[in-house]
C-alpha cells in the first residue's frame, strides 16, 4: 500500500492516538548513510515529544535486514506471541519485497500474515518493489472469520482518508512520484492481482469447446497462481493462423465454424427470383445455405480456449508493463530527510534543529553522486554552489529550505548593520556567529570548496573534486594553474596556505568577487553562486549554521564529516600514516559469499557488529553534539587526502582502462588501499576519477564518457569491492535537458505540419482526378492519418524514455545478468544495486563479460 503525501500527518496522528503506556516500542531500521541518519534524528525528536517509546537498529545491508527480521520483527507478530507494533524503515528495503523479507507473507494454507505488525517504508532509491507499493496484506474478517485480501480504506493500493491503521502491512510513503508517474504500473499490478487463475488442466489440443464440460463457468481450472516471471508461452503458443478452424456439430448433421458470420435471410427476394425464372444455381445455393445453417443465428459464447488465450494475452501485457518499469535502471528521488521534515512541518513541529538535520541529509546526497539518474556524476551547472544536484527537483527542495531558513531565522534589527559589513547581504562567506548564543541557520554563497572554514584556502581548493578535475590538479601543470589563479586574485601563497579563519579580513571579504571575476578564465563558471538576480533570490546559495563561538559549519561540511565517520570510523584510532585494520571490518564479514564457502568465525561476526554499531552511534551523536562533530573534522580531511593521493596515482600511472561499455580502475596497492574497501569511500573516489575522465576525454559518444567501474582490493578477505557509476545524462544540466526536449517537440510539430500539407495536397489531387473522371468528390481520408497517429505514439514513447528511463544507472541489472551467465562468486549485500563484492580470482572474467552489457539505460 502507499500513502499519498497529503496524508502523512494523518497516519502519524493515528499512531499517537493508539499509543499508551503498554504500547510496544516503535522499531526504527536505519541505513548507514547520512540521509537516513538525519531522517532518524528528525523522527525520534517527534516520537520523544509524543512520549512514544522507540528503539533504533542500524542496518548495514540485506544480511542485517534478514537478521533483524528473524530476531526482532517476527517475534512482534501476534502469531508468535507478540502484540504487533510499528516498524519504520529509513533508507531500507524499498527495492525488495518486505513482506517476504520480514516474514510477514501468507503461505499456501492462508497462514502467516503481518500479525499486527505495520511497516512504514521511506526510501529514496528507485525502482520501488511494486509489491510493497500496491500490494495489500491479508487479514481475518472479524464478522465472518474468513481470510480476505481487500482492506477497507484501500483502493488499488492507495490509502484513503478513511483508512484505519493498526491492522498491519507494508505502507510506502509517497513523495509524489507514485501518484504522478506510476499510474500504468498501478493498473497493471492490480489487474494481475485480480486476474483469475490460468488453468493448466485444459488440454490445448482438445477439440471440445463446450464450456460446460470439465471447466467452471469462468473457463478456468483452480490452481495455485504462478509468479509473474514464469514462462507461460507454452500454454498459448499456437496462433489462429497455425491452428485449424474449430468445428462443432449442428442439428442437421453438418459442421459450422465456431464463430459463424450471421447472414440475414432474404426469403422474399429469393422467391421472386425463382418465380421469374432466375438461375437454378442461385436457388440451390440458397437451399444449401439453409440446410447447413441454423434458421436463426444464435449468439455464440466464447469458448474456453478463446477466454484462456485472451486472459494470457492480458497477463503478458500487464507483466510486460511491470518488467519495463523494473528494467529502467536505478535512480534517486526525494531524500528521506526531506520527506520526514515534511511530516514534521504538517504537524507544526518544525524548528531549527529539525530543519538543520533535513538540510544536512539532503546535502549529503550530492557527495555520493545520488541523482535522478542513479549513482553517477552530478549534472554540471553554471549556477554555482550545489545548484546542479538532482536537476530542477533538487533546486525546488533547496528553495523550500531557503524559505524555511528565512521564516525560522529572522534577522534581528540590531544585526542588520553588522550584516551590511560582513553578513549575507554583501555575499561574504560567514565564518563566525553573530553572538556567543547564536545558533541560527543562514544562507551563504558557498563556493565548491571542501571544508573551507577548517582548512587553508589552498588545501580546500586543492581537494575540491570540481576544481581538481577542471584544473587537472593531479599534474604539475595543474598545480601551476592553481597557483596562477590565486596570483591573479591577489592572494599570496603565504596567505592562502594558512588557516582560512586566520586570513586577512580584506581578502576574505573580497574572495567571492575575485572568484567571480577570474574563475571563468579557467573554465570554473560554476565555482561560486552568482549575485542575486532579483530581490532576495539566492539561487545556488548554501546553508551555514553556527554554534556560538564554538564552530561554524556549512551543511556540505557536516555531510562530509558524517560520511567520514561512517566510512572510516573513530578519529581517535587514526594516525596520519595508516589506519587500524580493525576499523574497516565491514558488514560483508558477517556471512558467506554467494557461491562461496567462506564461513566467518563467531569472533569476527561479533567484532564486525561492534564496529558498525560504534560508527553509527558516533555519527548519530555527532548530529546533536557540535564538539563531537568538530573532533571528526580530521577524519574527513584524512579521507579526502587519500582520495586525492590515490586518484592522482591512478591517472599518472595510466591505470584507468577503457573497455567497451565503460572505463575501469582498480585500487590494489598503496598506503590507502584498505580505506577503499568501504563502498562509500570507494564511491567518492570513483566520482573524483569520473570527473577527471570527463575533463580529460571530453563527452564523446552516446554514454558521455562518465561510465566507470571502480574496484578496491580487500586482501585480508581475498575479494574486491566493486562500484559501478553510470548515467548518460550526467554531464547535462537540467536546463540543457529541458532545451533538448523542447527542440524535439518543435521538430515533431514541424514534421506534423509538413505531413498535413502533403496529405492535403494529395487529397486535392485525388479530388481533381475524380472530378475529371465524372465521379463525385472522394472525401475518404487516406491512410496517412493512421501512420501519423502511430508516429505520434512512437514520439511520445521516445519522450517517456527520455524522462523516465534514459540515462539511468543499469549496473545493478547488468551485474545480475553476468552473475547468472558466469557463476562468479559475487555477494550483493548493499542497498545500492551498483555495489557488489566479488572473489579476487573472478574479477577479470566478470569485467570482461560485463563490458558486453548495457550499463546505462
**Paired strand residues for 29:** 57, 89
3-state secondary structure (DSSP) of residue 56: strand
> Are 693 and 752 in a shared domain?
no
- Alpha-carbon distance of 100 to 131, in angstroms, equals 10
In a domain, 477, yes or no: yes
Indicate whether 173 pLDDT > 90.
yes
Grid cell listed for 33:
548513510
pLDDT tens per residue, range 180-213: 888 999 999 999 988 877 654 444 444 444 434 4
Picking from 194, 229, 251, the residue at the C-terminal end of a domain is 194
Residue keyed to cell 530542477: 392
Q: In terms of residue numbers, what domain contains 689?
A: 647-730+809-850
Q: Mean pLDDT throughout 254-267?
A: 36
Four-residue CA torsion sign, 517, 518, 523, 524: negative
Give the mean pLDDT of 157-165.
87
Average pLDDT of the chain to the nearest whole number: 77
Residue 125 pLDDT greater than 60, yes or no:
yes
Cell numbers at 416, concatenated: 542588520
pLDDT of 767 higher than 90: no
Global pTM value? 0.79
The dihedral sign for the CA sequence 64, 65, 69, 73: positive
Q: What is the pLDDT of residue 208?
A: 43
Same domain? For 98 and 16 the reply is yes
Q: Which three cell numbers stand for residue 485?
A: 589563479
Confidence of residue 300 (pLDDT cuts 50, 70, 90): low
Q: Is the Cβ–Cβ distance between 18 and 338 less than 8 Å? A: no
Write down the H helix ranges in 519-577: 555-568
* Residue 188 burial class via C-beta count within 10 angstroms: exposed 0-12, middle 13-18, buried 19 and up: buried
- Residues 66, 159, single domain; the answer is yes
- 391 domain residue, yes or no: no
Instruction: Please give the Cα distance from 412 to 400 (Å, whole number).
Output: 22
| Within-domain flag for 687 | yes
SS (H, E, C) 320-355: HHHHHHHCCCEEECCCHHHHHHHHHHHCCCCCHHHH
Are residues 34 and 63 located together in one domain of the fold?
yes
The length of the chain is 857
**CATH number of the domain within which 118 lies:** 3.40.50
Q: What is the strand order of the sheet 551-554 is part of?
A: 441-444, 542-547, 551-554
Q: What's the grid cell of residue 329?
A: 535502471
Tell me: do 29 and 65 sit in the same domain.
yes
Q: Which residues contact 232 (CB under 8 A, 6 or more apart)?
A: 198, 226, 312, 315, 316
pLDDT band at 248 (very low <50, low <70, confident <90, very high): very low
Residue 538: how many CA atoms within 13 Å on its side-chain side? 21
Structural domain total, the chain = 4
For residue 276, the model assigns a pLDDT of 33
Candidate from 280-294, 553-567, 699-713 with smallest mean pLDDT? 280-294
pLDDT, tens digit (0-9, with 9 covering 90-100), for 419-458: 555 444 456 788 888 888 889 999 888 888 999 999 999 9
Q: What is the pLDDT of residue 171?
A: 94
- Quick check: 408 and 352 in contact, CB under 8 A? yes
pLDDT at 395 over 50: yes
Kindly state whether residue 403 falls inside one of the protein's structural domains: no
Report the pLDDT value the prediction gives residue 611, as an integer from 0 to 100: 75
Taking residues 166-193, report their average pLDDT: 89
The alpha carbon of residue 570 and the mean position of all alpha carbons in its chain are separated, in whole angstroms, by 31
Q: Specify the 3-state DSSP secondary structure of 516.
A: helix
Q: How far apart are CA 71 and CA 422, in angstroms?
A: 56
Distance of alpha carbon 721 from alpha carbon 567, whole angstroms: 14
Environment class of 473 (CB within 10 Å of its CB; exposed 0-12, middle 13-18, buried 19+):
buried
For residue 840, pLDDT beyond 60: yes
* pLDDT, position 172: 95
What single-letter DSSP state applies at residue 801?
I
Q: How confident is the model at residue 354 (pLDDT cuts 50, 70, 90)?
A: very high
163 lies in the same domain as 26: yes
Among residues 477, 499, 528, the one where a domain terminates is 528
> What pLDDT shows up at residue 301?
63
Q: Does residue 169 sit in helix, strand or coil?
A: strand
Is residue 821 assigned to a domain? yes
Dump pLDDT digits (tens) for 453-500. 999 999 999 999 888 888 999 999 999 999 999 999 999 988 899 999
State the pLDDT at residue 389: 59
Cell of 411: 534577522
Of 194, 209, 227, at which residue does a domain stop?
Answer: 194
Query: Tens digit of pLDDT for each residue in 98-110?
Result: 999 998 887 766 6
Query: In this structure, is residue 431 part of a structural domain?
Result: no
β-bridge pairing 147-148 and 139-140: antiparallel
Do 781 and 715 sit in the same domain of this protein?
A: no
Rounded distance between C-alpha atoms, residue 639 and residue 700, angstroms: 31
Residue 279 burial by Cβ neighbours in a 10 Å radius (0-12, 13-18, 19+): exposed
Write out the three cell numbers for 317: 501485457
Q: 828 with 704, same domain? A: yes
Who's near 316: CB < 8 A, 6+ residues apart?
A: 232
> Is pLDDT at 418 greater than 50 in this prediction?
yes
- All cell numbers assigned to 399: 528553495
Task: Write the pLDDT tens digit of every residue in 711-761.
Answer: 999 998 899 999 998 864 444 544 555 677 778 788 888 888 888 888 888
Most confidently predicted of 295-304, 604-613, 710-719: 710-719
Are residues 706 and 739 both part of a single domain?
A: no
Q: Are residue 723 and residue 741 in the same domain, yes or no?
A: no
Residue with cell 563558471: 525
The rounded distance, in Å, linking the Cα atoms of 2 and 170 is: 8
CA atoms of 521 and 512, how far apart (whole Å): 15
CB 51 within 8 A of CB 44: no
In CATH, what number is assigned to the domain containing residue 840?
3.10.310
Contact predicate 626/547, CB 8 Å = yes
Distance of CA 154 to the CA centre of its chain: 25
Residues above pLDDT 70, as percent of the chain: 70
pLDDT score, position 345: 95
Instruction: Look at 572 and 545; give whichever has higher pLDDT.
Output: 545
pLDDT at residue 703, as a whole number: 43
- Give the whole-angstrom CA distance, residue 538 versus residue 541: 6
Asked if residues 227 and 105 have their Cβ atoms less than 8 Å apart, the reply is no
* 101 domain-assigned: yes
Same domain, 675 and 764: no
Tens of pLDDT, residues 336-349: 999 999 999 999 99
What's the pLDDT band for 147 if we cut at 50, 70, 90? Answer: low
Distance CA 833, CA 810 (A): 9
Characterize 101-115 residue by residue with b for buried, 16 or more Cβ atoms within 10 angstroms of its Cβ, and e for exposed: bbbbbbeeeeebbbb
Same domain, 38 and 118: yes
Mean pLDDT lowest among 12-16, 265-269, 797-801: 265-269
The secondary element (H helix, E strand) that includes residue 218 is none
Three-class DSSP labels, 674-697? CHHHCHHHHHHHHHHHHHHHHHHH
Task: Copy the grid coordinates of residue 186.
Answer: 498501478
Looking at the domain assignment, is residue 312 inside a domain? Answer: no
**Would you say 719 and 596 are in contact if contact means Cβ atoms under 8 Å apart?**
no
- What pLDDT, on the 0 to 100 scale, is given for residue 533? 57
**Residue pair 564/639 in contact by the 8 Å Cβ criterion:** yes
Amino acid at each position: 500500500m502507499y500513502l499519498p503525501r497529503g496524508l502523512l500527518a494523518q497516519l502519524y496522528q493515528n499512531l499517537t492516538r493508539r499509543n499508551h503506556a503498554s504500547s510496544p516500542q516503535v522499531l526504527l531500521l536505519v541505513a548507514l548513510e547520512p540521509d537516513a541518519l538525519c531522517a532518524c534524528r528528525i523522527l525520534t525528536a517527534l516520537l520523544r515529544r509524543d512520549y512514544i517509546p522507540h528503539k533504533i537498529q542500524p542496518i548495514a545491508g540485506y544480511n542485517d535486514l534478514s537478521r533483524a527480521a528473524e530476531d526482532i520483527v517476527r517475534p512482534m507478530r501476534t502469531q508468535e506471541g507478540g502484540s504487533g507494533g510499528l516498524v519504520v524503515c529509513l533508507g531500507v528495503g524499498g527495492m525488495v519485497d518486505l513482506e517476504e523479507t520480514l516474514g510477514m507473507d501468507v503461505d499456501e494454507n492462508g497462514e502467516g500474515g503481518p500479525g499486527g505488525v505495520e511497516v512504514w517504508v521511506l526510501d529514496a532509491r528507485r525502482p520501488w518493489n511494486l509489491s510493497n507499493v500496491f500490494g495489500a496484506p491479508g487479514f481475518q474478517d472479524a464478522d465472518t472469520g474468513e481470510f480476505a485480501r481487500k482492506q477497507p480504506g484501500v483502493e488499488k493500493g492507495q490509502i484513503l482518508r478513511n483508512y484505519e491503521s493498526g491492522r498491519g502491512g507494508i505502507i510506502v510513503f509517497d513523495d509524489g512520484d507514485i501518484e504522478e508517474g506510476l499510474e500504468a504500473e498501478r493498473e497493471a499490478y492490480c489487474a494481475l492481482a485480480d486476474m483469475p487463475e490460468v488453468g493448466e488442466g485444459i488440454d490445448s489440443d482438445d477439440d471440445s469447446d463446450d464450456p460446460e464440460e470439465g471447466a467452471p463457468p469462468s473457463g478456468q481450472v483452480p490452481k495455485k497462481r504462478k509468479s509473474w516471471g514464469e514462462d507461460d508461452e507454452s500454454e498459448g503458443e499456437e496462433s489462429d493462423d497455425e491452428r485449424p478452424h474449430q468445428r462443432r456439430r449442428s442439428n442437421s448433421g453438418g459442421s459450422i465454424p465456431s464463430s459463424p458470420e450471421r447472414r440475414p435471410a432474404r426469403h422474399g427476394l429469393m422467391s421472386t427470383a425463382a418465380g421469374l425464372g432466375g438461375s437454378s444455381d442461385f436457388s440451390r445455393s440458397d437451399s444449401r445455405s439453409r440446410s447447413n445453417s441454423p434458421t436463426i443465428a444464435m449468439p455464440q459464447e466464447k469458448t474456453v480456449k478463446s477466454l484462456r488465450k485472451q486472459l494470457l494475452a492480458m497477463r503478458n501485457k500487464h507483466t510486460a508493463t511491470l518488467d519495463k518499469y523494473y528494467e529502467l535502471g536505478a535512480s534517486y528521488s526525494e531524500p528521506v530527510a526531506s520527506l520526514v521534515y515534511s511530516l514534521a512541518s504538517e504537524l507544526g513541529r518544525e524548528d531549527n534543529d529539525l530543519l538543520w538535520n533535513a538540510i544536512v541529509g539532503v546535502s549529503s546526497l550530492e557527495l555520493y553522486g545520488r541523482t535522478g539518474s542513479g549513482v553517477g556524476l552530478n549534472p554540471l551547472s553554471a549556477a554555482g554552489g550545489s545548484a546542479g544536484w538532482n536537476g530542477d527537483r533538487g533546486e525546488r527542495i533547496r528553495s523550500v529550505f531557503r524559505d524555511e531558513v528565512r521564516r525560522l531565522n529572522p534577522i534581528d534589527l540590531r544585526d542588520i548593520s553588522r550584516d551590511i559589513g560582513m553578513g549575507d547581504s554583501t555575499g561574504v562567506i560567514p565564518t563566525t556567529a553573530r553572538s556567543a548564543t547564536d545558533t541560527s541557520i543562514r544562507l551563504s554563497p558557498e563556493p565548491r570548496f571542501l571544508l573551507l572554514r577548517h582548512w587553508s584556502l589552498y588545501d580546500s581548493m586543492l581537494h575540491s573534486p570540481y576544481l581538481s578535475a577542471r584544473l587537472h590538479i593531479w599534474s604539475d601543470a595543474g598545480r601551476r594553474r592553481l597557483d596562477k589563479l590565486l596570483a591573479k586574485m591577489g592572494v599570496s601563497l603565504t596567505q592562502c596556505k594558512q588557516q582560512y579563519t586566520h586570513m586577512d579580513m580584506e581578502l576574505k571579504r573580497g574572495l567571492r568577487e575575485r572568484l567571480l571575476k577570474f574563475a571563468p578564465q579557467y573554465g570554473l563558471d560554476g565555482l561560486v553562486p552568482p549575485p542575486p538576480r532579483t530581490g532576495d533570490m539566492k539561487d545556488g546559495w548554501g546553508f551555514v549554521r553556527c554554534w556560538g563561538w564554538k564552530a561554524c559549519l556549512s551543511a556540505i561540511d557536516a555531510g562530509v564529516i558524517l560520511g567520514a565517520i561512517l566510512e572510516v570510523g573513530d578519529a581517535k584510532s587514526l594516525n596520519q600514516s595508516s589506519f587500524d585494520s580493525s576499523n574497516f571490518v565491514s558488514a560483508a564479514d558477517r556471512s558467506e559469499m554467494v557461491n562461496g564457502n567462506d564461513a566467518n568465525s563467531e569472533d569476527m561476526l561479533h567484532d564486525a557488529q561492534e564496529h558498525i554499531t560504534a560508527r553509527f552511534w558516533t555519527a548519530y551523536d555527532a548530529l546533536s553534539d557540535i564538539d563531537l562533530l568538530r573532533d571528526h573534522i580530521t577524519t574527513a580531511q584524512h579521507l579526502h587526502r587519500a582520495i586525492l593521493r590515490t586518484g592522482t596515482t591512478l591517472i599518472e600511472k595510466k591505470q584507468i582502462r577503457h573497455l567497451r561499455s565503460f572505463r575501469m580502475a582498480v585500487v590494489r596497492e598503496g598506503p590507502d588501499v584498505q580505506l577503499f574497501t568501504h563502498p562509500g569511500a570507494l564511491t567518492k573516489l570513483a566520482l573524483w576519477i569520473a570527473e577527471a575522465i570527463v575533463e580529460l576525454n571530453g563527452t564523446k559518444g552516446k554514454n558521455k564518457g562518465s561510465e566507470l567501474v571502480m574496484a578496491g582490493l580487500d586482501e585480508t578477505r581475498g575479494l574486491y569491492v566493486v562500484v559501478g557509476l553510470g548515467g548518460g545524462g550526467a554531464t547535462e544540466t537540467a536546463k540543457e535537458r529541458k532545451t533538448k526536449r523542447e527542440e524535439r517537440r518543435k521538430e515533431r510539430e514541424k514534421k506534423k505540419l509538413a505531413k498535413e500539407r502533403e496529405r492535403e495536397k494529395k487529397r486535392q489531387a485525388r479530388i481533381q482526378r475524380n472530378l475529371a473522371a465524372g465521379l463525385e468528390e472522394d472525401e475518404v481520408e487516406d491512410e496517412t492519418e493512421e501512420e501519423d497517429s502511430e508516429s505520434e505514439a512512437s514520439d511520445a514513447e521516445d519522450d517517456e524514455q527520455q524522462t523516465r528511463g534514459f540515462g539511468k544507472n543499469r549496473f545493478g541489472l547488468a551485474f545480475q545478468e553476468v552473475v547468472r551467465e558466469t557463476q562468479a562468486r559475487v555477494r550483493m549485500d548493499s542497498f545500492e544495486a551498483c555495489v557488489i563484492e566479488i572473489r579476487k580470482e573472478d574479477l577479470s572474467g566478470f569485467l570482461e563479460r560485463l563490458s558486453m552489457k548495457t550499463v546505462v539505460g
